[in-house]
């Protein structure tokens, strides 16, 4: 029964990893940018949620209504102010600039909030659970996170393939110059893509903060989980990132079931295994 439980919890955890991954996948798809500070933005969103819940006395889920737009605004300003100037043939400038941002966010949070682990409280929601047949108890919160992850990915999928903004994303992704000729302002389109990416990061950060304790140093670890989910699922495939997140979550929980020290290692090994046998991921869309 422990094993079934580990797998079910792993699948639900995969939803959170898919939230880490979706924003990463989106900006890579639109502008081939990999944001090294992605994980640190997740932690920034968690701290933002913490400040809002503790000063205004709101529930974390209500705080989302503030965290998400603030993160999106940060994303838009960041992209137009700094990151757009780094895009080009050379992959080094965006990598280095986001690496610098990662260091700045980590140490900025350290200055403000100290290195103490923090946690957001979601009240009775945290302990509520559903009894499933077969002696299985599943927390309501993990189920909620998974449902939100599926909804977010469905939403991104809809934006990407059904909305005019998504058409602009796909146009600049295919050919930036021709998209410009057709009257698209690529600086603005990229800004919107980063805003959307960090909006998802806002949701991911708040859920991370409810689920576990967090401190300023854990960002890079979250980046790696998101990245592994993207690669396992296949580049450019949003539903693939959900599968990638689930595979990662299940591997970690199975590893932890065998030996608590193997939790993270098992996840990384699953990633390396997929890389060895299917270098382009399970469901690749783009090269």
Question: H helices of 234-262, where?
Answer: 238-258
Site for another protein, residues 111 to 130, rule: CB under 8 A? 111
Residues paired with residue 138 on neighbouring β-strands, in sequence order: 130
Among 4, 65, 77, 104, binds another protein (CB under 8 A): 104
Q: Could you tell me the CA-to-CA distances from 152 to 1, 173, 241 in Å, in that order?
A: 31, 21, 12
3-state helix, strand, coil in the chain (%, to 5): 80, 5, 20
**Structure token pair of residue 198:** 């960090």
Closest CA to 67 of 86, 39, 42: 42
Minimum distance of another protein from residue 91's CB (angstroms) = 5
Among 69, 93, 117, 123, binds another protein (CB under 8 A): 93
Per CB under 8 A, 269 contacts another protein: yes
Per CB under 8 A, 187 contacts another protein: no
CA dist., res. 62 & res. 60, Å (int): 5
**Structure token pair of residue 41:** 């933005």
Stretch that binds another protein, among 29-37, 46-54, 120-128, 207-215 (CB under 8 A): 29-37
Q: Which is nearer to another protein, 61 or 231 (CB)?
A: 231
- Angle made by CA atoms 66, 204, 124, in degrees to the nearest 5: 75
Per CB under 8 A, 282 contacts another protein: no
Place of tokens 């990463």: 24
Question: What track of x and - describes contact with another protein for positions 38 through 67 (by CB under 8 A)?
Answer: ------------------------------
Helix axis angle, 186-211 to 60-81, nearest 10°: 150
Closest CA to 98 of 75, 115, 114: 75
Quick one: how far is CA 193 from the chain centroid? 14
Per CB under 8 A, 36 contacts another protein: yes
Among 94, 142, 209, 245, binds another protein (CB under 8 A): 94
Per CB under 8 A, 279 contacts another protein: yes
Stretch that binds another protein, among 9-17, 143-151, 204-212, 267-275 (CB under 8 A): 267-275
Stretch that binds another protein, among 14-22, 108-116, 154-162, 164-172 (CB under 8 A): 108-116
Q: Which is nearer to another protein, 114 or 137 (CB)?
A: 114
Indicate the helix (H) or strand (E) that contains 100.
helix 92-113
Among 275, 282, 283, 284, binds another protein (CB under 8 A): 275
Residues that bind another protein (CB under 8 A): 32-34, 36, 82, 85-86, 90-97, 99-104, 106-108, 110-111, 220, 223-224, 227-228, 231, 261-262, 264-265, 268-269, 271-272, 275-276, 279
């Amino acid at each position: 029964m422990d094993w079934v439980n580990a797998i079910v919890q792993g699948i639900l955890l995969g939803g959170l990893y898919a939230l880490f991954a979706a924003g990463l996948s989106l900006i890579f798809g639109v502008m081939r940018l990999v944001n090294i500070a992605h994980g640190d933005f997740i932690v920034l969103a968690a701290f933002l949620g913490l400040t809002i819940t503790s000063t205004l006395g709101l529930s974390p889920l209500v705080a989302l209504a503030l965290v998400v737009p603030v993160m999106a605004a940060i994303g838009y300003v960041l992209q137009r102010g700094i990151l757009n100037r780094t895009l080009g043939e050379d992959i080094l400038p965006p990598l280095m600039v986001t690496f610098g941002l990662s260091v700045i966010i980590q140490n900025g949070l350290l200055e403000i909030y100290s290195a103490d682990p923090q946690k957001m409280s979601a009240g009775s929601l945290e302990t509520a659970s559903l009894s499933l047949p077969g002696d299985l108890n599943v927390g309501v919160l993990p189920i909620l996170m998974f449902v939100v992850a599926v909804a977010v990915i469905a939403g991104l999928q809809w934006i990407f393939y059904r909305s005019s903004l998504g058409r602009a994303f796909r146009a600049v992704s295919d050919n930036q110059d021709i998209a410009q000729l057709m009257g698209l302002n690529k600086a603005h389109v990229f800004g919107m893509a980063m805003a959307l990416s960090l909006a998802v990061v806002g949701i991911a950060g708040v859920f991370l903060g409810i689920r576990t304790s967090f401190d300023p140093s854990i960002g890079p670890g979250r980046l790696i989980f998101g990245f592994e989910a993207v690669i396992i699922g296949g580049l450019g495939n949003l539903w693939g990132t959900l599968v990638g997140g689930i595979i990662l979550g299940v591997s970690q929980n199975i590893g932890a079931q065998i030996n608590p020290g193997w939790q993270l290692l098992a996840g990384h090994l699953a990633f390396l295994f997929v890389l060895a046998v299917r270098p382009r991921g399970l469901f690749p869309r783009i090269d």
